[in-house]
Amino acid sequence: MAAEAHSTATLRLTVGDLRIAHPITVPSGRVPATEVVPALQGLVNAVVAAAEAASVRDGGAISCRKGCGACCRQLVPVSRTEGERLLALVKTLPGERRERLRERFAAAETIIADAGLADRAGRSDRELSQAYFALAIPCPFLEDESCSIHPDRPLVCREYLVTSPAELCAGPAQEGVTPVPVPKVSMAARHVQGDDEDWFPLAGLMAWAAARSRKSERRTGPEWVQRFLKGIGRK
């Protein structure tokens, strides 16, 4: 069988005060949007690295470390494209680990529902995030206070870094926490498969999977990337 053809290009972006030049490789043929997620992860990593370097030049020092999982109790917005990619990842895990994950997801969903946060109507993103963080729900992928899927973690997780003392991140009001000013490029993923695409909290992945539409669109890799780029800066 012939190897799948790929297209490579160097993206040059100006995002906020940052200028990014990053090579990106995607399938040339028509594929589901999930097939370009690794390329988007690399692009977000490049933006984060540039923001981190700028912060260090200004005298900041990143305090995030493995084993510090306070941020893994925040609301993590995930797009349909990333959700489908995560579901595929879960299917590759050993049966026992999959079952433990499903139990954690079920527990998180129960807490969210009991707190009345399953319905986001009428709530601002900030209000919802604060109410969610107050519940202290650990991400189902969190193990020993570290991300068990770190290489495949959602785009928004990659964008959260702080220079303040790590222990402050667990405070209910996040007082004194100083995030690195990283442009939220991850939000563009919400529009990859359509302008009206919604997001859901990562902890609700399994509930979303049960109710989601199974419709799968195919486009070339470069077309998916162009749709992502058009979404940068949108809300």
Mean pLDDT for the stretch of residues 195-215? 85
- Which residue type is seen at 110? T
Can you give the residue ranges of every domain in the chain?
Answer: 6-231
Q: List, as one string, the DSSP characters of 120-132.
A: -TT--HHHHHHHH
Q: Which two tokens stand for residue 38?
A: 């690794």
Beta bridge partners of 27: 6
Average pLDDT of the residues of the chain:
92
Taking residues 91-117, what's their average pLDDT? 95
pLDDT, average across residues 35-46: 97
Helix axes 80-91, 95-114, angle to 10 degrees: 140
Kindly state the percentage of the chain with pLDDT values over 90.
Answer: 75
pLDDT for the residue 195? 57
* CA–CA dist 140, 133 (Å, integer): 14
Q: What is the reported pTM?
A: 0.92
Task: Note whether 115 and 35 are within 8 A (CB).
Answer: no
DSSP 18: E
pLDDT the model gives residue 197: 64
**What's the distance, CA 216 to chain centroid?**
21
The upper half-sphere exposure of residue 13, i.e. CA atoms within 13 Å in the direction of its Cβ, equals 24
Backbone dihedral angles phi then psi of residue 77, each to the nearest 5 degrees: -75, 130
d(CA 112, CA 132): 8
pLDDT in tens, 160-171: 999 999 889 988
d(CA 74, CA 188): 20
d(Cα 25, Cα 171) in Å, to the nearest integer?
A: 40
Residue with tokens 């999959």: 98
Q: What pLDDT does residue 1 have?
A: 45
Cβ distance 83 to 107 under 8 Å?
A: no
Q: Indicate the DSSP class of residue 9.
A: E
